[in-house]
Amino acid sequence: MKSWIRWVALHGGPGRYLRTRARHGDPLSEILTSSRTGRSPYPPGARIREQGRLVRTPFTLVSADHEVCRKILRDKNFGVTPPDGINMPGPMRRLVRATDLKLASPVEPPSMLVVDPPEHTRYRKLVAQEFTPRAVGRLRDRIGEVTGELLADLAARPNADLIEHFALRLPVAIICEILGVPREKQDFMLELGHAGAPLLDVGIPWRTFRGAVAALRASEEFIEGHIARLRVDPGDNILSELAVNGSLTMPELKATAALVAGAGFETTVNLLGNGMVALHEHPDQLDLLRAEPDRWPNAIEEILRFDSPVQMTFRTALCDTEIADQTIARGETVALLLGAANHDPAVFADPGAFDVSRTNAREHLSFSNGVHVCLGASLARMEGVVALSALYERFPQLRLTDTPERRRLVNLRGYQRIPAAPGLPAASRTA
């Protein structure tokens, strides 16, 4: 009953309201309910931008303006928005607080995703050492090894799903090694991550919410046992260090592990899948990369800009402040449409074009900005470059055999399935 009441307050009521607004043409509601319709979020994002740099709606303030989004993300007058922080009537907010399920969720405190400094600073400092460019650079050989294993598996498949057999497998293997999770538990971690991902959306169905809660419970039980094992037999991984040094409480440890596990592969899976589809739809750009492989790092930035793996985030004003000639009262929430901001024509010329040679592609906001900029951005970029460049070098005849299937999610935008025929590996063709 407690879970159901929480769902009603966070999703059931808001979801019904948003669906009604979407039917009447409200663009933000269209975006927030797009998992049901399968429509692209970018046309309604453009309509919001046409209405103004910062638009007031009955639900929340919203911006699809690149400069405004970047400014708010970097502004100390704004903080993150926990589930009970989104603009809602007082009784609903009290219901959310009264039904706290006390789970190690990546989208609820004490997860660093939804806490502000000084707590955020303390958590991030402890974990950041694993994700510095130097630390990530040391992982490059291992990323290459795992990629090679996955490509060898693809070579044995006349037909494959590029998500299940490739895009999922690389990032989960790497993040499990970072957390010291045994290889045989990778599928378990994938299931937990997928089940919990919808919690980043608003208005999800009851069955989806119930499944996500069940996954969080299973995840918490596993992580707690895993931490206990690492305290007895620590390894060379970040979670062992955190578990042994005692600087985090058990709830903080579990929340940090859950966030690193989920964010560590969900974003990268979407990056890889979105990139493969974009290159399939723009073969001239793939030809350019094959002719000039040094362009791959910039191509990853353009993939991130063109179809952002994370579409939005929320921020709450910590005091009365002014942005884009509008006064935002303390406690008001702003929805920042990162994906739509990446299509802002004031920053990106011809934003609907996919151009791997775009000189300012790296100005995208797909990894957020400010103190909450994605901790694993360097790792995701490296995985993208290594994996996609190797895939297309190994399989020059790679082709999609059916229409790619989108995930039924709003915020984590990516693909569920990409059916493909890899074709003969390059070595086999030249033998």
Q: What structural domains does the chain harbor?
A: 2-430 (1.10.630.10)
Residue 141 pLDDT: 93
Tokens of 66: 């690149």
Q: Find the helix or strand (DSSP H, E) in which 78 lies.
A: strand 78-80
Tokens of 410: 């709003």
SS3 233: coil
Residue 430 pLDDT: 38
Residue 84 pLDDT: 66
pLDDT tens profile 251-269: 888 888 888 887 778 899 9
Residue 428 pLDDT: 53
Report the C-alpha gap between 358 and 302 in whole angstroms. Answer: 7
Residue 341 pLDDT: 98
Residue 87 pLDDT: 66
**Inter-CA distances, 296 with 149, 241, 274, Å:** 21, 34, 15
Q: What percent of the chain has pLDDT over 70?
A: 97
Residue 220 pLDDT: 85
Residue 88 pLDDT: 66
Residue 126 pLDDT: 87
Tokens of 210: 């119930």
**Does the reported pTM lie above 0.85?**
yes
Give me the amino acid identity at 63: S
Residues of the chain with pLDDT under 50: 429-431
